[in-house]
């Protein structure tokens, strides 16, 4: 077993001071992790830090303001795909659900939604959002790597709106193992990620097209890959990013 530390980058928040919206930098965030052998894509973290420790670090962004990635609205890319019926209704997993805008949208559209986040404050707000919308969602406060090891469900649709860029640098094999465990042949996946060409302050870690194809292409085939503007309360114009719509191939003679 190996122990290490993962740098997730800078985290920003917004809050009102004297009637004006101010942007604050919360500094560099690090998570401790341990590794164990696995049968999926090689080594994967047994747990990305103790939940109560990691949760405090992410929770700070929610307790003291609005994180830079929280728009309060479902991602336009997700809305478009669902409205176009390109994602079959079924079970859905929202990875790092935040305050639940995407999860609530999916539930309203007829999906059976499980939403996971390590921040208790974020999940509490997500539960409130779901209650106000009158939808049922299974919310889980947990580290996603820990969650998937005890989850019997293999989901029809996976949504990752920003988690992948933060973990790929030190935990790529763990992330791929997570996707492999969470999906099944025939599952669809939507990944929204920052673009490596975006240099504005507050942007999430960025990736290139080559990164996406080499890394996510190990498990999925690409249905659509295009540049988009990712929404943020920090910038009206948002940040340059990627929309990756993926499908896990079905082997010949597979019986699901």
Chain segment 172-188, per-residue pLDDT in tens: 999 999 999 999 999 99
pLDDT at 39: 37
Cα–Cα distance for residue pair 256/252, rounded to 1 Å: 11
**What is the set of domains in the chain, with CATH numbers?**
2-63 (no CATH), 70-247 (3.40.50.150)
pLDDT at 132 over 90: yes
Closest CA to 56 of 2, 108, 101, 120: 120
pLDDT for the residue 41: 52
Distances (CA, A) of 55 to 52, 61, 104, 182, 194: 5, 10, 22, 22, 23
Beta bridge partners of 227: 242
Axis crossing angle, helix 120-133 with helix 101-108, rounded to the nearest 10: 30
**Confidence tier at 169 by pLDDT (50, 70, 90):** confident
Distance CA 227, CA 5 (A): 31
Q: Answer whether residue 210 shows pLDDT above 80.
A: yes
N- to C-terminal Cα separation, the chain: 34
For residue 23, what pLDDT is reported?
41
Determine the pLDDT at residue 19. 56
Helix, coil or strand: residue 193? strand
**pLDDT at residue 89 tops 60:** yes
**Residue 222 or residue 65, greater confidence:** 222
CA distance 144 to 172: 14
The confidence score (pLDDT) of residue 256 equals: 63
pLDDT of 138 higher than 80: yes
pLDDT band at 28 (very low <50, low <70, confident <90, very high): very low
Arithmetic mean of pLDDT, 81-91: 97
Residue 84: per-residue pLDDT = 97
Residue 232: the pLDDT is 87
Query: What was the pLDDT predicted at 179?
Result: 96
Considering the chain, what is the average pLDDT of its residues? 82
Residue spans of beta strands (DSSP E) within 18-79: 20-36, 44-47, 66-67
Question: Quick one: average pLDDT of 198-224?
Answer: 94
Mean pLDDT of 49-54: 44
What's the pLDDT at 2?
36
pLDDT score at 55:
64
């Amino acid at each position: 077993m190996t122990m290490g530390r993962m740098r997730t980058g800078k985290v920003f928040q917004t809050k009102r001071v004297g009637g004006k919206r101010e942007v604050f930098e919360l500094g560099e965030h690090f998570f401790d992790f341990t590794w164990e052998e696995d049968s999926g894509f090689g080594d994967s973290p047994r747990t990305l830090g103790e939940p109560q420790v990691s949760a405090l670090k992410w929770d700070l962004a929610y307790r003291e303001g609005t994180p830079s990635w929280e728009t309060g609205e479902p991602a336009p890319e997700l809305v478009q795909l669902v409205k176009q019926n390109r994602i079959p209704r079924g079970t859905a997993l929202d990875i790092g659900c935040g305050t639940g805008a995407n999860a609530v949208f999916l539930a309203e559209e007829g999906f059976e939604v499980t939403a996971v986040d390590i921040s208790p404050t974020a999940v509490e707000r997500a539960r409130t959002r779901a209650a106000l919308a009158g939808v049922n969602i299974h919310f889980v406060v947990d580290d996603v790597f820990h969650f998937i090891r005890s989850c019997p469900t293999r989901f029809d649709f996976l949504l990752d709106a920003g988690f992948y860029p933060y973990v790929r640098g030190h935990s790529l094999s763990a992330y791929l193992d997570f996707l492999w465990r969470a999906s099944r042949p025939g599952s669809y996946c939507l990944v929204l990620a920052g673009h490596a060409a975006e240099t504005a302050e507050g942007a999430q870690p960025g990736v290139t097209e080559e990164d996406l194809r080499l890394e996510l292409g190990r498990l999925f085939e690409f249905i659509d890959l295009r540049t988009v503007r990712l929404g943020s309360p920090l910038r009206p114009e948002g940040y340059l990013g990627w929309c990756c719509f993926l499908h896990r191939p079905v082997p010949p003679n597979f019986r699901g």
